[in-house]
Structure 1
Amino acid sequence: MPEVKVHVRENNTATFICPSCGTVKHFDAGRFHHQRHIVSVRCRCQQVFSILLDFRRTYRKQTSLDGTYEILSEGGVGGGIIHINNISRGGIGFSVSGLHRIEKDQVIQVEFQLNDKNRTVLKKQAVVRSVRQNSIGCEFKCNADLDKALGFFLQN
Protein backbone atom coordinates (compact mmCIF):
# COMPACT_ATOMS: atom_id res chain seq x y z
CA MET A 1 0.00 0.00 0.00
CA PRO A 2 1.64 3.30 -1.10
CA GLU A 3 2.19 6.06 1.50
CA VAL A 4 1.56 9.71 0.65
CA LYS A 5 2.75 12.59 2.85
CA VAL A 6 0.19 15.39 3.29
CA HIS A 7 0.94 18.75 4.93
CA VAL A 8 -1.81 19.93 7.32
CA ARG A 9 -2.39 23.68 7.28
CA GLU A 10 -2.84 25.83 10.41
CA ASN A 11 -6.64 25.59 10.12
CA ASN A 12 -6.30 21.77 10.25
CA THR A 13 -7.30 21.27 6.63
CA ALA A 14 -5.30 19.13 4.24
CA THR A 15 -5.38 18.29 0.56
CA PHE A 16 -4.80 14.79 -0.75
CA ILE A 17 -4.09 14.07 -4.42
CA CYS A 18 -4.60 10.44 -5.40
CA PRO A 19 -1.39 9.25 -7.08
CA SER A 20 -3.40 6.69 -9.01
CA CYS A 21 -6.10 8.82 -10.67
CA GLY A 22 -5.19 12.43 -9.72
CA THR A 23 -8.43 13.16 -7.85
CA VAL A 24 -8.06 16.07 -5.41
CA LYS A 25 -9.72 15.69 -2.01
CA HIS A 26 -9.83 18.39 0.71
CA PHE A 27 -10.55 17.20 4.23
CA ASP A 28 -10.51 18.19 7.91
CA ALA A 29 -7.49 16.56 9.57
CA GLY A 30 -8.06 18.14 12.99
CA ARG A 31 -9.59 15.01 14.47
CA PHE A 32 -6.27 13.18 13.91
CA HIS A 33 -4.07 15.85 15.53
CA HIS A 34 -3.73 14.16 18.92
CA GLN A 35 -4.08 10.61 17.63
CA ARG A 36 -2.41 8.66 14.90
CA HIS A 37 -0.84 10.53 12.03
CA ILE A 38 -0.98 7.69 9.52
CA VAL A 39 -4.45 7.11 8.12
CA SER A 40 -5.67 4.64 5.49
CA VAL A 41 -8.00 6.10 2.85
CA ARG A 42 -9.80 4.74 -0.17
CA CYS A 43 -10.08 6.99 -3.21
CA ARG A 44 -13.18 6.98 -5.38
CA CYS A 45 -11.09 5.03 -7.92
CA GLN A 46 -11.01 2.28 -5.23
CA GLN A 47 -7.23 2.55 -4.72
CA VAL A 48 -6.24 2.33 -1.02
CA PHE A 49 -3.41 4.54 0.33
CA SER A 50 -1.78 5.39 3.62
CA ILE A 51 -1.61 9.12 4.28
CA LEU A 52 1.05 10.46 6.61
CA LEU A 53 -0.35 13.68 8.10
CA ASP A 54 2.37 16.27 8.70
CA PHE A 55 1.23 18.80 11.34
CA ARG A 56 4.40 20.91 11.19
CA ARG A 57 3.85 24.66 11.17
CA THR A 58 5.97 25.14 8.07
CA TYR A 59 6.69 23.06 5.01
CA ARG A 60 9.89 21.04 5.20
CA LYS A 61 11.72 20.51 1.92
CA GLN A 62 13.95 17.48 1.42
CA THR A 63 17.39 18.56 0.22
CA SER A 64 20.89 17.35 -0.38
CA LEU A 65 23.17 20.27 0.42
CA ASP A 66 26.60 20.44 2.04
CA GLY A 67 27.60 23.05 4.57
CA THR A 68 29.47 23.74 7.78
CA TYR A 69 28.57 24.32 11.41
CA GLU A 70 30.25 26.05 14.33
CA ILE A 71 29.21 25.75 17.98
CA LEU A 72 28.64 29.23 19.42
CA SER A 73 27.32 28.36 22.90
CA GLU A 74 29.40 29.13 25.95
CA GLY A 75 31.88 26.32 26.46
CA GLY A 76 31.08 24.88 23.07
CA VAL A 77 34.05 23.86 21.03
CA GLY A 78 34.07 22.61 17.53
CA GLY A 79 32.56 22.64 14.17
CA GLY A 80 32.66 20.67 11.03
CA ILE A 81 31.05 19.62 7.81
CA ILE A 82 27.33 18.85 7.59
CA HIS A 83 25.01 17.30 5.04
CA ILE A 84 21.63 19.06 5.05
CA ASN A 85 18.77 16.60 4.60
CA ASN A 86 15.83 19.00 4.98
CA ILE A 87 15.10 22.66 5.50
CA SER A 88 12.09 24.83 6.32
CA ARG A 89 11.40 28.46 7.15
CA GLY A 90 11.84 27.60 10.80
CA GLY A 91 14.74 25.19 10.85
CA ILE A 92 17.08 22.65 9.40
CA GLY A 93 17.82 18.95 9.67
CA PHE A 94 21.30 17.68 8.94
CA SER A 95 23.71 14.86 9.56
CA VAL A 96 27.32 14.98 10.74
CA SER A 97 29.98 12.42 9.87
CA GLY A 98 31.99 10.91 12.69
CA LEU A 99 32.21 12.18 16.25
CA HIS A 100 30.76 15.55 17.19
CA ARG A 101 30.11 17.65 20.29
CA ILE A 102 26.68 18.95 19.36
CA GLU A 103 24.21 18.89 22.26
CA LYS A 104 20.58 19.82 22.66
CA ASP A 105 19.93 23.55 23.36
CA GLN A 106 23.34 24.66 22.05
CA VAL A 107 23.48 27.64 19.72
CA ILE A 108 25.27 26.92 16.47
CA GLN A 109 25.91 28.77 13.26
CA VAL A 110 25.34 26.97 10.00
CA GLU A 111 26.60 28.09 6.62
CA PHE A 112 25.52 26.52 3.37
CA GLN A 113 24.94 27.25 -0.27
CA LEU A 114 21.52 26.80 -1.86
CA ASN A 115 21.37 25.08 -5.23
CA ASP A 116 19.30 27.94 -6.66
CA LYS A 117 20.30 29.83 -9.82
CA ASN A 118 22.27 32.42 -7.78
CA ARG A 119 24.06 29.77 -5.66
CA THR A 120 23.03 31.84 -2.61
CA VAL A 121 25.16 31.40 0.52
CA LEU A 122 23.21 31.50 3.80
CA LYS A 123 24.72 31.93 7.25
CA LYS A 124 22.19 31.41 10.06
CA GLN A 125 22.23 30.92 13.80
CA ALA A 126 20.15 28.04 15.14
CA VAL A 127 19.26 26.34 18.41
CA VAL A 128 19.78 22.57 18.51
CA ARG A 129 16.40 20.93 19.28
CA SER A 130 17.23 17.24 18.77
CA VAL A 131 20.31 15.06 18.59
CA ARG A 132 19.85 11.44 17.51
CA GLN A 133 23.37 10.07 17.07
CA ASN A 134 24.57 11.90 13.94
CA SER A 135 21.16 13.34 12.95
CA ILE A 136 20.66 16.88 14.22
CA GLY A 137 17.50 18.99 14.17
CA CYS A 138 17.72 22.76 14.68
CA GLU A 139 15.38 25.73 14.87
CA PHE A 140 16.57 28.95 13.28
CA LYS A 141 17.14 31.52 16.00
CA CYS A 142 15.67 34.47 14.17
CA ASN A 143 12.77 33.85 11.77
CA ALA A 144 11.82 37.51 11.33
CA ASP A 145 14.68 38.23 8.96
CA LEU A 146 14.06 35.19 6.78
CA ASP A 147 16.21 35.42 3.71
CA LYS A 148 14.21 35.97 0.53
CA ALA A 149 16.41 33.43 -1.19
CA LEU A 150 15.40 30.73 1.31
CA GLY A 151 11.72 31.56 0.82
CA PHE A 152 12.05 31.23 -2.96
CA PHE A 153 14.12 28.06 -2.57
CA LEU A 154 11.37 26.43 -0.50
CA GLN A 155 8.74 27.24 -3.13
CA ASN A 156 10.63 25.49 -5.93
Structure 2
Amino acid sequence: MTNAANAALSQWSMDRETVMSRVIDAPRDLVFEAWSDPKHLPQWFGPKGFKIETFEIDVRVGGVWRFNMIGPDGTVYPNRMRFRRIERPKLMEMDHGVDQDEDPNMFRFTIIFAEQADGKTVLMMRQLFANTEQRDQTIGFGAVEYGYQTLDKLAAYVGGLKR
Protein backbone atom coordinates (compact mmCIF):
# COMPACT_ATOMS: atom_id res chain seq x y z
CA MET A 1 0.00 0.00 0.00
CA THR A 2 1.34 3.45 -0.84
CA ASN A 3 2.13 5.95 1.92
CA ALA A 4 -0.68 8.25 0.74
CA ALA A 5 -3.22 5.42 0.78
CA ASN A 6 -2.01 4.26 4.18
CA ALA A 7 -2.31 7.80 5.57
CA ALA A 8 -5.84 8.13 4.16
CA LEU A 9 -6.89 4.81 5.69
CA SER A 10 -5.59 5.85 9.11
CA GLN A 11 -8.31 8.54 9.32
CA TRP A 12 -11.89 7.24 9.20
CA SER A 13 -14.22 9.38 7.09
CA MET A 14 -17.89 8.66 6.38
CA ASP A 15 -17.68 10.02 2.81
CA ARG A 16 -15.15 7.28 1.98
CA GLU A 17 -16.90 4.29 3.56
CA THR A 18 -19.59 1.72 2.94
CA VAL A 19 -21.42 0.05 5.81
CA MET A 20 -23.41 -3.18 5.69
CA SER A 21 -25.05 -4.98 8.58
CA ARG A 22 -27.07 -8.08 9.25
CA VAL A 23 -28.56 -9.94 12.18
CA ILE A 24 -27.35 -13.53 12.09
CA ASP A 25 -29.25 -16.23 13.94
CA ALA A 26 -26.21 -17.69 15.69
CA PRO A 27 -24.17 -16.85 18.80
CA ARG A 28 -21.38 -14.30 18.43
CA ASP A 29 -18.63 -16.83 19.26
CA LEU A 30 -19.75 -19.07 16.39
CA VAL A 31 -20.01 -16.19 13.90
CA PHE A 32 -16.57 -14.97 14.94
CA GLU A 33 -15.18 -18.50 14.53
CA ALA A 34 -16.56 -18.67 10.98
CA TRP A 35 -14.61 -15.48 10.17
CA SER A 36 -11.41 -16.35 12.01
CA ASP A 37 -10.89 -20.10 11.58
CA PRO A 38 -9.02 -21.03 8.36
CA LYS A 39 -11.09 -24.21 8.00
CA HIS A 40 -14.34 -22.19 7.91
CA LEU A 41 -13.55 -18.87 6.21
CA PRO A 42 -12.97 -20.15 2.64
CA GLN A 43 -16.09 -22.35 2.86
CA TRP A 44 -18.56 -19.46 2.78
CA PHE A 45 -16.71 -16.25 1.83
CA GLY A 46 -17.64 -14.36 -1.32
CA PRO A 47 -20.78 -13.49 -3.27
CA LYS A 48 -23.41 -15.97 -4.40
CA GLY A 49 -22.04 -18.45 -6.95
CA PHE A 50 -18.39 -17.60 -6.26
CA LYS A 51 -15.85 -20.17 -5.12
CA ILE A 52 -12.65 -19.61 -3.16
CA GLU A 53 -9.24 -21.08 -4.00
CA THR A 54 -6.85 -20.44 -1.09
CA PHE A 55 -3.06 -20.25 -1.54
CA GLU A 56 -2.12 -19.09 1.96
CA ILE A 57 -4.18 -18.40 5.07
CA ASP A 58 -2.82 -17.22 8.41
CA VAL A 59 -5.58 -15.59 10.45
CA ARG A 60 -3.61 -13.66 13.08
CA VAL A 61 -2.43 -10.07 13.44
CA GLY A 62 0.07 -9.56 10.62
CA GLY A 63 -1.06 -12.75 8.88
CA VAL A 64 -2.23 -12.91 5.28
CA TRP A 65 -4.98 -14.68 3.37
CA ARG A 66 -4.14 -14.97 -0.34
CA PHE A 67 -6.90 -16.41 -2.47
CA ASN A 68 -8.66 -16.37 -5.80
CA MET A 69 -12.34 -15.61 -5.89
CA ILE A 70 -13.69 -17.48 -8.91
CA GLY A 71 -16.89 -16.11 -10.41
CA PRO A 72 -19.76 -18.23 -11.76
CA ASP A 73 -18.47 -17.52 -15.30
CA GLY A 74 -14.95 -18.74 -14.39
CA THR A 75 -13.40 -15.27 -14.08
CA VAL A 76 -10.58 -15.32 -11.51
CA TYR A 77 -10.20 -12.41 -9.08
CA PRO A 78 -6.92 -12.57 -7.13
CA ASN A 79 -7.35 -11.28 -3.54
CA ARG A 80 -5.18 -10.61 -0.52
CA MET A 81 -6.21 -9.74 3.02
CA ARG A 82 -3.74 -8.72 5.70
CA PHE A 83 -5.09 -9.04 9.22
CA ARG A 84 -4.41 -5.85 11.19
CA ARG A 85 -6.38 -6.30 14.39
CA ILE A 86 -8.25 -9.19 15.97
CA GLU A 87 -10.16 -8.71 19.22
CA ARG A 88 -11.87 -12.04 19.87
CA PRO A 89 -14.90 -12.24 19.67
CA LYS A 90 -15.90 -8.65 18.92
CA LEU A 91 -13.78 -7.20 16.12
CA MET A 92 -11.56 -7.97 13.14
CA GLU A 93 -9.80 -5.45 10.93
CA MET A 94 -7.88 -6.12 7.74
CA ASP A 95 -6.61 -4.50 4.58
CA HIS A 96 -8.18 -6.08 1.49
CA GLY A 97 -7.25 -5.76 -2.14
CA VAL A 98 -5.83 -7.65 -5.09
CA ASP A 99 -3.00 -10.12 -4.57
CA GLN A 100 -0.13 -7.74 -5.28
CA ASP A 101 2.22 -5.58 -3.25
CA GLU A 102 1.45 -1.85 -3.11
CA ASP A 103 -2.15 -2.21 -4.33
CA PRO A 104 -3.38 1.39 -4.83
CA ASN A 105 -7.01 0.25 -4.41
CA MET A 106 -6.52 -1.56 -1.10
CA PHE A 107 -9.23 -0.72 1.41
CA ARG A 108 -9.61 -1.09 5.16
CA PHE A 109 -12.19 -3.66 6.18
CA THR A 110 -13.57 -3.75 9.73
CA ILE A 111 -16.04 -6.30 11.05
CA ILE A 112 -17.84 -5.72 14.33
CA PHE A 113 -19.61 -8.62 16.06
CA ALA A 114 -22.26 -7.55 18.60
CA GLU A 115 -23.97 -10.14 20.77
CA GLN A 116 -27.72 -9.93 21.29
CA ALA A 117 -29.49 -11.28 24.38
CA ASP A 118 -31.51 -13.69 22.20
CA GLY A 119 -28.41 -15.58 21.05
CA LYS A 120 -28.18 -13.78 17.72
CA THR A 121 -25.31 -11.67 16.41
CA VAL A 122 -25.44 -8.25 14.82
CA LEU A 123 -22.60 -8.13 12.32
CA MET A 124 -21.48 -4.81 10.85
CA MET A 125 -19.00 -4.60 7.96
CA ARG A 126 -17.34 -1.26 7.39
CA GLN A 127 -15.15 -0.65 4.35
CA LEU A 128 -12.98 2.47 4.22
CA PHE A 129 -11.46 3.59 0.92
CA ALA A 130 -8.54 5.95 0.26
CA ASN A 131 -10.85 8.46 -1.44
CA THR A 132 -14.49 9.07 -2.36
CA GLU A 133 -13.92 8.19 -6.02
CA GLN A 134 -12.60 4.76 -5.11
CA ARG A 135 -15.62 4.17 -2.85
CA ASP A 136 -18.04 5.30 -5.58
CA GLN A 137 -16.39 3.03 -8.18
CA THR A 138 -16.65 0.09 -5.80
CA ILE A 139 -20.33 0.78 -5.14
CA GLY A 140 -20.85 1.16 -8.90
CA PHE A 141 -19.62 -2.33 -9.71
CA GLY A 142 -21.90 -3.89 -7.08
CA ALA A 143 -19.76 -4.22 -3.95
CA VAL A 144 -22.67 -3.50 -1.60
CA GLU A 145 -24.89 -6.12 -3.25
CA TYR A 146 -21.98 -8.59 -3.25
CA GLY A 147 -21.31 -7.78 0.39
CA TYR A 148 -24.88 -8.64 1.33
CA GLN A 149 -24.68 -11.86 -0.70
CA THR A 150 -21.55 -12.74 1.29
CA LEU A 151 -23.41 -12.09 4.55
CA ASP A 152 -26.25 -14.33 3.30
CA LYS A 153 -23.74 -17.12 2.71
CA LEU A 154 -22.24 -16.58 6.17
CA ALA A 155 -25.67 -16.78 7.80
CA ALA A 156 -26.49 -20.02 5.96
CA TYR A 157 -23.09 -21.50 6.81
CA VAL A 158 -23.24 -20.79 10.56
CA GLY A 159 -26.85 -21.96 10.57
CA GLY A 160 -25.57 -25.35 9.41
CA LEU A 161 -22.81 -25.35 12.05
CA LYS A 162 -25.15 -24.75 14.97
CA ARG A 163 -27.43 -27.69 14.16
Q: TM-score range by the shorter chain?
A: under 0.3
Flag the structure with higher strand content: 1
Question: Rg: which structure is higher?
Answer: 1
Flag the structure with higher helix content: 2
User: Normalised by the size of structure 1, how large is the TM-score?
Assistant: 0.25
Choose between structure 1 and 2 for higher RCO, CA contacts under 8 A separated by at least 6 residues: 2
User: Normalised by the size of structure 2, how large is the TM-score?
Assistant: 0.25
